[in-house]
Chains A and B, each alone.
Chain A
Amino acid sequence: MLDIRNISKVYPNGVRALSDVSLNIQKGEFVSIIGLSGAGKSTLLRSINKMIEITEGDILFQGKSIKEAKGKELRMIRRDIGMIFQSFNLVKRSRVITNVLCGRIAYHSPFVTFFGLFPKEDKMIAFEALDRVNILEKAYNRADELSGGQMQRVAIARSLAQEPILLLADEPVASLDPLTTIQVMDDLKRINRELGLTMLVNLHHVDLAIKYSTRIIGLQGGRLVFDGHSKDVNDEVLKEIYGRELTSSEVLGEVDDAPA
């Protein structure tokens, strides 16, 4: 479904964020990407929907080249790929339902949606998405009235409203407390199971990655140093990814500021 072929990314300032990374992801997988800060996790994720342009290699999404896609073609590819962010990225002044309907925009001409008119069908899709993350009752609240965990759920609902086949999540729980973290990760796992939606998630916490994903990708200095089943992540693997052994507290979920 997603075929990443020998991609590299060099930023205009000369930073080499990705070096010759190759990956092949199948439908329904729950894949976590782990690595130190600056390892290139965000860069990899953003290359997939061309929020960042890669400098070498190619990415095929359902057989279509992302490198070549532009304009309408690129927007149609992006429509099939949901994305959620560490900072939720909701329009805080808008209602929850309006935020979720934003996931439907790419299905219509901008001249129709410009007046805020969405087909009834779309509204049902939006309500259903909210229901799936258990936050339907907040549909008519303003987004800025919600807690962090609730906002992230709305953001998930917005991406579900896109009816995507792949969901990218860039540190979706990094700004949430431990309890909310578990709830949001549970939501993602459930969606993965119920809808068969493929997940590609950047995580800072190794233990979360091991607990929730079927497959783990380890990045170190822009290189792919591990790609395997979460069962196969052992101390040696972690040492390779993080450049040293983790202390027990880090494995319990505090790898945030491990020195490079």
Chain B
Amino acid sequence: MRQHKFSREIPDKPSDIKRYLSITLFFLLIYAAGRFTRFSLSELFDGMSEGGGLIKEMFFPPDWAYMRRLLEPMQETIQISIVGTFFGSIVAIPLAIVSARNFLRNPILTGIFRNFLGIFRTIPALVFAALFASIFGFGSFPGILALIVFTAGLVAKLGFEAIESIDPGPVEALESSGASKLSILRFAIIPQILPQYLSFILYSFEINIRASAVLGYVGAGGIANYYNRTLSYLQYARAGSIVLMTFVVVMLLDLVSSKIRERLL
């Protein structure tokens, strides 16, 4: 038997009404969204059974022989993502530096670049690719350009956030010793963010390899170009081998890259 004598009253349990209302609202929203987009379960099941037939044609078995011919476009896809990641990460450096609030301490300049980056980053890589393909013509060049722009935006954003979260102590110490801005950057900031920067590069490479696997769809080079072609000729087994190969390559590169990233941090 408990003998504790309470010094004050046990507080009342707060009403649960708010919680129930939120849950109801949540389901109502989902229902409304389904109605709005004319989502229908029966269509989904129909589609799935059709899709089942398609999957059988694509993968059971895929066109193994065709894979040899895919080596070249696959290589192009990988090249596009490497080159795009590389140059994009370089372009990101000055962007990150001017966007970091704690370095130049020029709120106007920093504000302009941060907003510019913010707007830019709402545009998906595929949209850039379509745009550049229409300007520069089909091929891997517009794809590379699209990834450069996309990577620059991504790495710059991660980069200025990393710069803003460094230990300010060394910056203060170097400033007090008469070092110039450039030297402070070189000796107090870069050593602190270098491992993070390298991991951002790998991270964006992981995203870019996925993006570049579909770039060919808008004519920006790489494997998706072939996918488009086989589908329009109804060569499902060939399409299947493209999907399979892309899947394996993306998985492998992803795995390697994330393993390296783990080691960096």
Contact = CB atoms under 8 A, between A and B. Distances in A.
A226 interface: no
B72 interface: no
B182 A114 contact: yes
A88 interface: yes
Interface in B198-232: none
A76 B178 contact: yes
A159 interface: yes
Interface string A105-144: 1100011011000000000000000000000000000000
Contacts of A162: 177-178
Contacts of B195: 93
A85 interface: yes
A105 B173 contact: no
Interface string A47-90: 00101000000000000000000000011111101110101111
A90 B178 CA distance: 16
B174 A105 contact: yes
A122 to B, nearest CB: 13
A195 interface: no
B71 interface: no
Contacts of A111: 182
B182 to A, nearest CB: 4
B183 A92 contact: no
A75 B179 CA distance: 7
A227 to B, nearest CB: 25
Given A49-B176, A77-B178, A113 B170 contact: no
Contacts of A75: 178-180
Interface stretch (B13-21, B38-46, B184-192): B184-192
B161 interface: no
Instruction: Name B's interface SS.
Output: helix
A93 B191 contact: yes
A93 B179 contact: no
Contacts of A83: 173, 176-177
B169 interface: yes
Contacts of A77: 178
A104 to B, nearest CB: 9
Interface bin, chain B: 20 to 34
Interface string A238-258: 000000000000000000000
A162 B179 CA distance: 11
B176 A110 contact: no
| Most chain B CB neighbours (cut-off 10 Å) among A49, A75, A89 | A89
Given A102-B187, A110-B182, A78 B176 contact: yes
B102 to A, nearest CB: 15
Given A92-B167, A110-B182, A105 B187 contact: yes
Contacts of A98: 187, 191
Question: Which of B167, B172, B186, B187 is the most central at the interface, judged by chain A CB atoms within 10 Å of its CB?
Answer: B187
Contacts of A82: 177
Contacts of B182: 110-111, 114
B64 to A, nearest CB: 49
A6 interface: no
B186 A114 contact: yes
Interface in A149-168: 155, 158-159, 162
Nearest to B194: A93
26 contacts: A51-B176, A75-B179, A78-B175, A79-B177, A85-B172, A87-B169, A90-B170, A91-B170, A91-B187, A91-B188, A91-B192, A93-B191, A102-B174, A102-B177, A105-B178, A105-B179, A106-B177, A106-B180, A110-B179, A110-B180, A111-B182, A113-B183, A114-B186, A158-B173, A162-B177, A162-B178
Interface of A: 49, 51, 74-79, 81-83, 85, 87-94, 98, 102-103, 105-106, 110-111, 113-114, 155, 158-159, 162
Interface of B: 167, 169-170, 172-180, 182-183, 186-188, 191-192, 194-195
Please list the 9 inter-chain residue pairs (A to B) with the smallest Cβ-Cβ separation, ordered nearest first. Answer: A106-B178, A89-B169, A79-B178, A78-B178, A89-B173, A75-B178, A110-B182, A83-B176, A105-B179
